[in-house]
Structures are given as C-alpha cells and as structure tokens.
Structure 1
C-alpha cells in the first residue's frame, strides 16, 4: 500500500512538473482609446426656491412660479420626454436667534436640451419666469454608445501595437488574445456649476454665453496575447 502511494506521488509530481514546462508564453499589455467629441446636447438642472413664514403661502408661491416655468418650456417646443420634475420639498427652518420658524419650498426641474442653439433663449426665459437657482449644466453627446464603441476598438488596437513593439526585439510574434479585461470607468461628463449672478437687460442682443469645448470618451483594456 505504501509502495503504491509512493508511485502515485511520484507520478503526480511528474505530471505537475510537465505542466509547468508546457506553460504558454504570453505578454500582458494595456491599451487606451480616446475619442474627442463636440457635445450636441445639454442636461440642465434648475430650481425654484421660495422662502417665507407661512408654509401654505410659500408652497403656493412656489407652485405658481413652477407653473409659469413649465408653460415657458412648452412654448420652447421641447418634447415632453425631455423635461421632468426631479425633486419637490417643503422644509421648516428655525432661527435660534430670533426664535422663529420659517419655511423653504423648492422644486427642481431637469431639462435635456437637444438643440444647443436655443441655450441662451431657454436660460434667460427660465430666469424671467421664476427660476432662481441653476444647479448644473452638463454637456453631453447623443451618440455616446457609438463613440464608446469606437474608443474600445482604439484601445484594443493600441494594446496589440504595444505588444508588437515589445516582442519585435525578441524575434517572436504576437498571437491570439487569451484574456481581455475591460478597465473602463463609466462615462461621467463634468458638470458646469452656475451661480445665480445673471445680468438681464431689457434689450435682447445676440451674444455667446458658453463655450462647450470637447468631451473625452475613453476606454481602457488589459489584454494577454500568446507569443508565437
């Protein structure tokens, strides 16, 4: 019995050693793909904030302003799916020095503007109708999925090119990919935070009030290739 166990142990060691000898040579490299895109739409978050001493009056005033804002948005011919109420609140506030309660009502609307040529007209009209807080303006691309696909392909091409550069001095060739890991982070465009310091003139003049620039859509991969 002991002899049989000894033979099995020797066979196991031999098999393990053989497997180690037959390891496939590989190279692991990373690649990044980046696509620069000019945004074609904006996600805008705005709020009507009303304060006062009577909860009912504060809520009523806030509702009236929001009603005017929504009517204006409809006049701008935005699709109903492109704007929605995001948040509604009515909160009591206590002034410890004056020992008095007051109330703060807010309603927040999120708008997706798909025609950036209407940006100035929209923002001025919102303020005129009662918006007194611009929370964020995020410039985006409506073709995000398409550009993400392009970035992934560029990342794979860079990874293969990098692997070929490394092994070119070794007299070897890059074979098929064994392992592909996607290291990309979720795309998150950077918001522009806007304080309510807007000067409105009675005379509407044509002017540029924003520079959308470009947004970077990136993909990152790690690829292990067989060496031939």
Structure 2
C-alpha cells in the first residue's frame, strides 16, 4: 500500500474514532423547544404614501411631483411629525406610451412618482393627518405597518417566556419517566432564515373595524412578538 493511501486511511480511522468517542461521551439529554409570545397594542404606525403625476413633458412631471412632495413634508412637520420620521423611499420618472400601437417612439406623457415612509406616533391623529395629506397633494397610500416603539423590552419578555416554556416541557417529559431535569447542556435561539440570531416574528392581527357610522378608519389590532429557543437538559 502506498504511503499516501496509508496516511489517508489512518486519518479517516482517527476521525471515525473521535466521532464515536464523542457520541459515547454525551450525557443522557432531553431536548425541547420553548416558545414565548407577547401581545401588545401598537404605539405607532409606518405609512408609505406619495405623489404620482402625469404631464406632457418630463420636466413638468418632475417639477409638479417635487412641489407636491415638498408640500407633504411641510404639512407633516407643521403637524408634529419629526423630520427624522419622514424618509423618501422611492423616486421615478418614466415615459408613458399608447398601448396597441407598434413602433411609437414619442411618449404620450411622462409619469413621475415620489413616495416616502412616515412614522406616525400618535395613532389617534392618523385620520386627521391623512385627510390633510390628501388636500396638499398626496394621491397614493401604498401600505401601513403597525409596530411598538420599545420592541427590545417585549423581545426580552418573549425570550423569558420561551425559556420558562422549555423548562416546563422538559420537566413534564422527565417526570413521566421517573427522572429529573438537570443543568442546561445546550441552548440556542433560532431564526426562520438560519443563523445565530434569535427569532422574533411580528404579525398584525386586525381587530373589528369601526362601524359605518363614523369613528377611526384603521384598526391597529395587536402586535405579536414571538421568541423560540431550543434547549437540551441533562437527565439526572
């Protein structure tokens, strides 16, 4: 047998021996997944809104859009929205051609769009702000997202609940077998996309909408913060 082949064989045997030895040295374990959930009322809402204009020339479309966007920003600032909570998110200017006519090189008009993301921290002012925004030129709302301002606090609370849930599951399992839960052998927080970061899922559950006779036009529902932990305990 050639020396290289012999070395490769010995290396493979050594690796196999180490893996088997590690498996034999593992203590008896109970492995469980704990889930913790915290439900809170949203304290703020992110609104994606903007301006869309169509004009005969590119310059006219751009200027009209910029004018209305500036009016929107000024209106928001005058009504208590901080400048840091207003962020331009999308800008485009493009030609618009007639449909169904082949070979046209001159556009019928130009379309300009500018959108921004606005954080509204007073939910009771949402309807009033939106009405004013329509009046100063906003003509599109692309979406809203409810959230809480002190998210880290609720993440920690959800994590604590997840760990307690894991301990409870492990205790129930081992008690059924007449054993006891010992110290923690391994613990890990997982994410849906992989990696070492903890998993925090946010979902908006909408509450019943206001009646047709009036009242708020949005229902914030609840923000749900979820933490998941995988824990292995030594069985005593």
TM-score, shorter chain, exceeding 0.5: yes
Task: Give the deviation of 1:186 after TM superposition.
Answer: 4.4
Task: Give the deviation of 1:94 after TM superposition.
Answer: 2.2
1:156 aligns with 2:163: yes
Checking the alignment, whether the CA contact within 8 Å between 2:205 and 2:223 is kept in structure 1 is: no
Q: TM-score with structure 2 length normalisation?
A: 0.79
Checking the alignment, whether the CA contact within 8 Å between 1:41 and 1:142 is kept in structure 2 is: yes
Structure 2 runs not aligned, ≥5 long: 1-13, 192-198, 207-212
Task: Give the deviation of 1:85 after TM superposition.
Answer: 1.5
1:205-224 equivalences under 5 Å are 207-224=215-232
Q: TM-score with structure 1 length normalisation?
A: 0.81
Structure 1 runs not aligned, ≥5 long: 1-11, 193-204
1:39-188 equivalences under 5 Å are 39-97=42-100, 99=104, 100-101=106-107, 102-184=109-191, 185-188=199-202
Q: Secondary structure at the match of 1:90?
A: strand
Q: Secondary structure at the match of 1:50?
A: strand
2:141 and 2:62 map into 1 onto residues whose CA distance is 20
Q: Alignment RMSD, CA only?
A: 2.7
The worse-fitting range, judged by mean Cα deviation, of 85-94 and 218-227 is 85-94
1:14 and 1:58 map into 2 onto residues whose CA distance is 73
Q: Tell me the alpha carbon deviations over residues 50-99 of structure 1, each in whole angstroms, 9 at most, x when there is no partner.
A: 11221111111111211221121111121111112222211122224353
Checking the alignment, whether the CA contact within 8 Å between 2:204 and 2:222 is kept in structure 1 is: no
Aligned to 1:8: none
Checking the alignment, whether the CA contact within 8 Å between 1:35 and 1:151 is kept in structure 2 is: yes
Task: Give the deviation of 1:172 after TM superposition.
Answer: 1.1
2:20 and 2:138 map into 1 onto residues whose CA distance is 74
Distance 1:17 1:126, change over 3 A: closer
Task: Give the deviation of 1:15 after TM superposition.
Answer: 10
Q: Which has the higher contact order (CA 8 A, sep 6+)?
A: 1
1:64 and 1:22 map into 2 onto residues whose CA distance is 72
2:20 and 2:140 map into 1 onto residues whose CA distance is 70
